[in-house]
Amino acid sequence: MDRRNFLRTASSFALLATGATTGVSRVLAKAPSFSLTGNQSDENTSNTDDTMEYRKLGGLDVSAIGLGCLPMVGYYGGKYDKKDMIALIRRAYDKGVTFFDTAEVYGPYTSEEWVGEALAPFRDKVKIGTKFGFGVEEKQPTAINSRPDHIRRAVEGSLKRLRTDHIDLLYQHRVDPAVPMEDVAGTVKDLMQEGKVLHWGLSEASARSIRRAHTVCPLSAVQSEYAIWWREPETKIFPMLEEFGIGFVPYCPLGRAFLTGIINENSRFYEGDRRWNLPQFTPRALKHNMPLIALVRKWAERKGVTPAQFALIWMLSRKSWIAPIPGTTNPAHLDELLGAGTVRLSAWEMEEFDREYARIDLMGHRADPFTESQIDK
């Protein structure tokens, strides 16, 4: 399928039933109010946002914008202080975020430990998503492993690190071709019956795997990379998610910072930064893809927001069952991202944006060859 036909197909999915897809029914609720130290805050706390849109991922209620906690462990380079990252997580909670994403492989273990400590004072007010599926305990963190016994050990470890007796949303991090999906779903179903897991999902799964898993144990969410410059899920899995009532949790919704406008054609990335070997971030691709940044900037100005906010607004406007999990290590950036919660695009604006987008030729795949080899097709 060529690019323009893809856009026509994607737009038709996005614009069907305007009220369902873009006229998002916003549920505004009082944000749970705690200070950054974990103590209950006064009503007049100056930096507390009193409202947050909530959405459903299957049967799971979450804030429309969650917080991805992978960058905190140096995924894009740098080393971050535990105290600062715990304060950042609590700041997100103060501002109405109730959905936090982590995984045992992040660190490994470090992200779960920090999330668990940060959210312990208000554990019953938030939803934590974590993941199993890599060989962390075998010291093979890049090897896929979803054997039933491994899943159980991974869950017990996550429960301990997260300081909780249940996981709100448990994902299979990558589909394991060596283990039948029915065995994976059956194991998670048992864990749900034991009360250790409340909801479950898949990450980077094909429509075929989603169907097989959902048949055994209904899914609440599917996680995948998705952003203005990577829209494949719209045609590959959105129809099935809509059919089954499964929520969608996009990671890297800002295109690994490309869509924020802080990256330009002269930006360079080196080993230690996840982007250093990604095809989208080669010097040639960066230069080629700058027209997309110009388009995002134009629309951001039109809506009176920043480019980063527009990238989230675009996503939140497409479907009412999408809840992105942008990541950051910077309190100011966090505040900026959460500012995207009150602006939406109309169906006609999305159609207009898609027409302009279709005229832009993009270069570069989203993943390096090894990562791509582990993505379910």
Q: Which residues are catalytic?
A: 106
**Which structure tokens are listed for 364?**
């570069």
What is the CA 28 to chain-centroid distance, rounded? 21
Q: Are 128 and 45 in contact (CB under 8 A)?
A: no
Q: Are 317 and 15 in contact (CB under 8 A)?
A: no
In one-letter notation, the amino acid at residue 241 is L
Q: Are 119 and 126 in contact (CB under 8 A)?
A: yes
**Residue recorded with tokens 């399928």:** 1
DSSP 304: T
How far is Cα 137 from Cα 160, in angstroms, rounded to an integer? 15
**Residue recorded with tokens 């430990």:** 113
Q: Are 244 and 219 in contact (CB under 8 A)?
A: yes
Q: Are 224 and 241 in contact (CB under 8 A)?
A: no
Angle at 80 (CA atoms; ends 68, 115), nearest 5 degrees: 40
Give every CB contact of residue 277 below 8 A, 6+ residues apart in sequence.
Answer: 271, 368
How far is Cα 305 from Cα 43, in angstroms, rounded to an integer? 27
Phi, psi of 65 (to 5 degrees): -115, 125
**Residue recorded with tokens 């997580």:** 89
